[in-house]
Structure 1
């Protein structure tokens, strides 16, 4: 199958959507499919052989963050050329409700389109306001995927229609087989994320750290991610700042080794999360997880069975839960064991096959589905009314 995948966000700025698209493309290639990924990137950006640069991205406020997107007349021309030259059996766009390459692809495409929605924002005024503009493009989508129930809810409330929920995927074995790093072991807690993006929660962790260190003075906090390191520790007493070690941007291999090394992985994110891929990566690596009780995080962690939860933005509760986990090796072992079993549902061997099944449905039609079941199946995939009618007519003609 010839598959075109559209990444909305700049390829050279790491993020969950980019990682998901990269891993999906590589999984599909290993399965023998031809895959091309179109993504915002400068011409001199080092790209994998399957990726095509669509030009420089610009920062745009989106979903409580700053997304680097690519949109405009030049981008539209590049999209049309890529779509034409690729002659794809199916196009898979991500975040088509944002002003991005994905939306431009919906306008340009003539064949089957699958769309994945990652955003969880039930009060998005921008999405509701933009719906009349988005509607013609979104009606061309053949099937919709949401990465979580909360992303699905955002889609239903603001854009109508429905979607099948297929979570983000992870190469569980890659993280499970990583070698711990000796210098990152021994009373360590870990955080991975953009330092200067408040919703990732590092300020909450910094507020909790003095109490953690008061009870466990040998504890070290390892922080991986880009941002202003001096500003990040500015609120800490000077004597405690040496207990925070900034690792900067780390490779995938070092991220896995970090997660394999820490005693507790902390995800203090404050909002705007539709899934929580870092939680799945941590579980895959066998790290005991402590996360804020965001709905999406609670779902990934099986309601708290696969990882501990603390009240969102409550630094005192975070500190108490961290100390309790550091003091209880038995509980950490329980979390590791449960998490290792639970995380298998997110492995690419499962997630990739589910996505491929959606591709096959929209390309081959519903001919193999019994007539009584056909509309129900298409409805669960979030197929547009126009596409359903087309496929029903095709089935009748056969």
Structure 2
């Protein structure tokens, strides 16, 4: 059933929401676009407040939403721009910790109460003074928000510990078109792509994500030493950019590792469909887009047993402890040598993916929260 607010009953104007986004990482930016499209289709007026680069990357206006440029950061200029955009909003929905803190500042001091919904996609990890600052911001946001939506049960529990008055599980659906199922490559793209990457007659292992410390690529390189003993030697391809690129490339060259860093790519769907295995060696993950894409694409996944990964994939992936390069290497070697187990994981992946909420269900759940917070309350 479509929530009643979308039809503006009894002559009420359409619900107006403001979606607040920071830089827009892969998860939050894609989710906001999906959410904007679904809300607009249901008659909700949507304004997305985000930097211009996020609009260029995700085309929020292409969904029928309005876009207002709000620069990164919580300086007075950014907060003032956001405050103006939220002036006549019925509800504000902020995505991620930094965007949420900016929304808290923009809504503070207003006479009329505007409900604030916050979505948490991941835990924020840092060290030293920055970690203490982030904990202060997190407590401020969690205690101020009307409702906190966590992408995983772990994030919901963390929000409650940080002081959230109302924290709920709201899984984020994988947006966009699904990768084609394997096997079957009528256009011959995958052999061409494997040839381009240098993996014509050798297994191709794919990892995707920014080259940051929490991604666990140092552990991945440790594991790659063991794969040099295989015949043929698997090729590990890492798609992404980040501050560790130079250090990782130096290790690859110094140790002669069968690993290629190919930078940021816009053909991750094709990379996954061409791969024999997908690898997710991260120290922390919430509702990983790579894991979702791998299972949808019927690509066997080896991932670390951290954060929201076990809840997301169930028994449809090989899980290993974070930081255990030997366990990661053994899991990969075992899968490469066992076609039956790879096919079993493909079938389990299809069944597990079928249990995830669809984009339509995700939008309906969010809109039901909006209705709850904005519908007039009956007199007692």
| Range into which the TM-score falls when normalised by the shorter chain | 0.7 to 0.9
Are the counterparts in 1 of residues 27 and 121 from structure 2 also a CA contact under 8 Å?
A: no
Q: Does 1:275 align with 2:278?
A: no
The 5 Å alignment of 1:234-245 reads: 234-236=250-252, 238=254, 240-241=256-257, 243-245=258-260
Give unmatched runs, 5+ long, in structure 2: 1-14, 195-201
Q: Which residue of 1 aligns with 2:209?
A: 193
Change (3 A) 1:128 1:30: same
Change (3 A) 1:239 1:73: closer
Cα separation, 2, equivalents of 1:122 and 1:47: 26
Are the counterparts in 2 of residues 204 and 314 from structure 1 also a CA contact under 8 Å?
A: yes
Change (3 A) 1:96 1:319: closer
Q: Which residue of 1 aligns with 2:95?
A: 94
Change (3 A) 1:250 1:142: same
Are the counterparts in 2 of residues 206 and 233 from structure 1 also a CA contact under 8 Å?
A: no
Q: Which residue of 2 aligns with 1:5?
A: 19
CA root-mean-square deviation: 3.0
Aligned counterpart for 2:175 among listed residues 171, 174, 196: 171
Aligned-pair CA distance for 1:293: 0.9
Aligned-pair CA distance for 1:78: 0.3
The 5 Å alignment of 1:1-398 reads: 1-7=15-21, 9-11=22-24, 14-41=25-52, 48=59, 49=61, 50=65, 52-57=67-72, 70-84=73-87, 87-96=88-97, 100-107=101-108, 110-120=113-123, 125-126=132-133, 128-130=135-137, 134=140, 138-139=143-144, 141-171=145-175, 173-176=177-180, 181-185=190-194, 187-195=203-211, 197-227=212-242, 229-236=245-252, 238=254, 240-241=256-257, 243-251=258-266, 254-271=267-284, 273-302=285-314, 305-344=315-354, 345-364=356-375, 394-397=377-380
For CA contacts below 8 A with separation 6 or more, give which structure has more relative contact order: 1
TM-score of the two chains, using structure 2 as the length reference: 0.79
TM-score of the two chains, using structure 1 as the length reference: 0.76
Give unmatched runs, 5+ long, in structure 1: 58-69, 366-393
Aligned-pair CA distance for 1:101: 2.8
Cα separation, 2, equivalents of 1:131 and 1:275: 19
Are the counterparts in 2 of residues 288 and 332 from structure 1 also a CA contact under 8 Å?
A: yes
Aligned-pair CA distance for 1:79: 0.9
Aligned-pair CA distance for 1:43: 11
Aligned-pair CA distance for 1:127: 5.1
Cα separation, 1, equivalents of 2:261 and 2:253: 17
Aligned-pair CA distance for 1:316: 0.9
Aligned-pair CA distance for 1:289: 0.8
Cα separation, 1, equivalents of 2:228 and 2:303: 19
